[in-house]
Amino acid sequence: MVNDSEQQWKSVLITVSQRKAKFANLKPYCTFAKENDYIEVTEWSNGEGYDVTISNAGETKHLSLTIGEFEALTVLINYRGE
């Protein structure tokens, strides 16, 4: 006899994908970075955003952004005013 929870697992679709990721040491970019500090940007499997991980001074930060949020952030950071 199969119970309801076992039946649910049988109907779950599992997708396996490879995600694009880029990695860099932070030392060349950040005055406060230590030798092993890094940043990694990974594109979502569906291509609609990014996961960003920053390890700096013993603290790890995570940020998830959609493509639109990333583009808006880039525009604001690069804005030079009038």
Q: Which pLDDT does position 12 carry in this prediction?
A: 84
Is position 53 within any domain? yes
CA-CA distance, 53 to 61, in Å (whole number)? 6
Is 12 domain-assigned? no
Residue type for 66, please?
T
pLDDT value at residue 15: 85
User: Whose structure tokens read 């694009």?
Assistant: 20
Q: Give a yes or no: residue 66 inside a domain.
A: yes
Range of the domain at 59: 18-78
- What pLDDT is stored for residue 66 in this prediction? 98
pTM: 0.75
CB 77 within 8 A of CB 65: no
d(CA 52, CA 47): 14
What is the domain count for the chain?
Answer: 1
Per-residue pLDDT of the chain (82 residues; tens, 9 = 90+): 556 655 566 778 888 899 999 999 999 999 999 999 999 999 999 999 999 999 998 899 999 999 999 999 999 999 998 7
